[in-house]
């Protein structure tokens, strides 16, 4: 296994999106088991939200040594619980004898060209009844200079994610989040055409629009949004 590097220029920006992380964390956390692999854990900002320390093990799987070092610094400073550890590499590098209760992909799967085989490899390493959890950008018609600049191969909808269901799994839950935030994605695609948002734009979205989405998403039945969540359960 060779270390891989990832520019990760958006990671620091979105690390400040506290409301957004708390929101999607509240929707994802009920599906997370006791033994967890977080794929492409980046700088550990999402780990801080999702890992509450009640897990037996939380592996931050990250191929980039510089990003992995930031996670290790968070563990050393106790910003992350003691159950957290880092592992170099990708899912294919995990030993087959190791099974886990949950694989978590937060804004990661869209960076992987062969996304179907990736989920199959994760499912092979899931314990029976385990969960495969993906959060990613929604709707290809929103694909913008931002997506291209950060290395997104695609955005997803319910049909495209359901089509990736590994043979041993079934879809347990699938829904959209941040219906109001779709407006910012549309505005960037057709007007701003920015490769990256600036800090003021991130904070405006997080502080003002995310709370509105949190109230509005249940009203629209989680049927549209800037992001999509899919949870698979291993059934055999």
- Tens digit of each residue's pLDDT (9 = 90 or more) over 160-211: 999 999 999 999 999 999 999 999 999 888 888 888 899 999 999 999 999 9
CA 57 to chain centroid: 18
Q: How much is the average pLDDT of 88-109?
A: 92
Three-state SS for 86?
strand
Question: What is the pLDDT at residue 5?
Answer: 59
Residue 205 is assigned to a structural domain of this protein? yes
Say if residue 150's pLDDT is above 50.
yes
Distance CA 177, CA 200 (A): 22
- Tens digit of each residue's pLDDT (9 = 90 or more) over 37-82: 999 999 999 999 999 999 999 999 999 999 999 999 999 999 999 9
Question: What is the pLDDT at residue 43?
Answer: 96
Question: What is the pLDDT at residue 73?
Answer: 98
Residue 3 is assigned to a structural domain of this protein? no
Residue 182 is assigned to a structural domain of this protein? yes
**CATH at residue 196:** 3.40.50.150
Q: How confident is the model at residue 2 (pLDDT cuts 50, 70, 90)?
A: very low
Residue 75 is assigned to a structural domain of this protein? yes
| Residue pair 56/123 in contact by the 8 Å Cβ criterion | no
Say if residue 219's pLDDT is above 80.
yes
Residue 26 is assigned to a structural domain of this protein? yes
For residue 169, give its domain range: 9-234
Say if residue 1's pLDDT is above 50.
no
- Tens digit of each residue's pLDDT (9 = 90 or more) over 115-144: 999 999 999 999 999 999 999 999 999 999
Question: What is the pLDDT at residue 6?
Answer: 60
Residue 4 is assigned to a structural domain of this protein? no
The edge-to-edge listing of strands for the beta sheet with 227-234 is 84-87, 57-61, 35-39, 100-106, 126-137, 227-234, 169-177
Say if residue 7's pLDDT is above 60.
no
Distance CA 40, CA 109 (A): 9
Three-state SS for 104?
strand
Q: How confident is the model at residue 16 (pLDDT cuts 50, 70, 90)?
A: confident
Residue 92 is assigned to a structural domain of this protein? yes
Say if residue 9's pLDDT is above 70.
no
Residue 1 is assigned to a structural domain of this protein? no
Using the Cα atoms of residue 108, residue 114, residue 115 and residue 121 in order, give the sign of their dihedral.
negative
Q: How much is the average pLDDT of 143-162?
A: 95
What is the domain count for the chain?
1
């Amino acid at each position: 296994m060779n270390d891989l590097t990832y520019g990760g220029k958006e990671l620091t920006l979105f690390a400040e999106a506290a409301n957004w992380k708390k929101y999607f964390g509240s929707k994802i956390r009920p599906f997370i088991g006791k033994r967890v692999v977080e794929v492409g854990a980046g700088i550990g900002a999402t780990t801080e939200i999702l890992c509450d320390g009640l897990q037996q093990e939380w592996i931050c799987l990250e191929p980039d040594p510089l990003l992995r070092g930031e996670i290790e610094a968070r563990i050393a400073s106790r910003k992350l619980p003691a159950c957290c550890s880092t592992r170099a590499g990708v899912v294919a590098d995990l030993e087959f004898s190791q099974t886990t209760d949950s694989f978590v992909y937060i804004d990661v799967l869209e960076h992987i060209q062969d996304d179907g085989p990736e989920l199959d490899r994760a499912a092979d390493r899931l314990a029976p009844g385990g969960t495969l959890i993906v959060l990613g950008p929604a709707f290809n018609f929103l694909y913008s200079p931002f997506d291209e600049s950060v290395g997104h191969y695609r955005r997803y909808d319910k049909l495209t994610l359901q089509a990736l269901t590994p043979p041993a799994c079934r879809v347990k839950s699938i829904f959209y989040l941040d219906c109001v935030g779709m407006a910012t994605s549309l505005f960037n695609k057709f007007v701003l055409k920015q490769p990256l948002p600036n800090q003021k734009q991130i904070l405006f979205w997080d502080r003002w629009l995310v709370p509105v989405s949190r109230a509005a998403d249940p009203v629209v039945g989680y049927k549209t949004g800037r992001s999509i969540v899919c949870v698979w359960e291993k059934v055999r």
